[in-house]
């Protein structure tokens, strides 16, 4: 694998955004499809969150200044909002309901905001703070850890 931490995470962001778009295209009559898509999204998100919070975020927090420490805490809180509030609520919602569509839209908007901030603010800081070899090493650790969370 020759992906560094940033390219790995960006690829995962694209995968989740595609799944969210597919979810938004479904109708209330597609309950099974909605359930399947949500399950894929939840699995990917939970693994993605773990690898960011266990490898990338602490490295950024520890190597950076106060600015990076603030980014760290904001990113962790955004993860918490999705993982502990929005996602569990959506998973308990009837996939054939209008509430499901509304909650899915909120999930999509929160994730898009988070992804945009990471890619425009956090990732550039990471790329400045770490050398290519360090980013590659982080990417390898993240890929290995992700496999553990997906199995």
Q: Dump pLDDT digits (tens) for 4-23.
A: 999 999 999 999 999 999 99
H/E stretch holding 103: helix 98-117
| Number of structural domains in the chain | 1
Can you give the CATH number for the domain in which 114 is found?
A: 1.20.120.520
With 80 as the cut, is the pLDDT of residue 108 above it? yes
Q: Dump pLDDT digits (tens) for 111-128.
A: 999 999 999 999 999 999
Q: Dump pLDDT digits (tens) for 39-71.
A: 999 999 999 999 999 999 999 999 999 999 999
Tally Cβ neighbours within 10 Å of residue 112.
14
H/E stretch holding 28: none
> Structural domain of residue 77, as residue ranges?
5-150
State the chain's mean pLDDT as an integer: 95
pLDDT score, position 2: 62
């Amino acid at each position: 694998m020759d992906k560094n931490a940033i390219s790995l995470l960006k690829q995962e962001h694209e995968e989740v955004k595609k799944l969210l778009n597919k979810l938004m295209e479904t109708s209330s009559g597609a309950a099974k499809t909605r359930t399947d898509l949500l399950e894929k999204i939840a699995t990917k998100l939970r693994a993605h969150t773990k690898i960011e919070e266990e490898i990338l975020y602490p490295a950024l927090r520890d190597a950076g200044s106060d600015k990076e420490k603030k980014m760290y805490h904001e990113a962790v809180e955004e993860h918490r909002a999705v993982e502990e509030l929005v996602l569990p609520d959506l998973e308990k919602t009837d996939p054939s309901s209008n509430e499901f569509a509304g909650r899915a839209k909120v999930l999509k908007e929160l994730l898009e905001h988070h992804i945009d901030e990471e890619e425009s603010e956090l990732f550039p800081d990471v790329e400045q703070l770490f050398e290519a070899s360090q980013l590659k090493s982080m990417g390898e650790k993240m890929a290995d850890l992700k496999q553990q969370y997906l199995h």
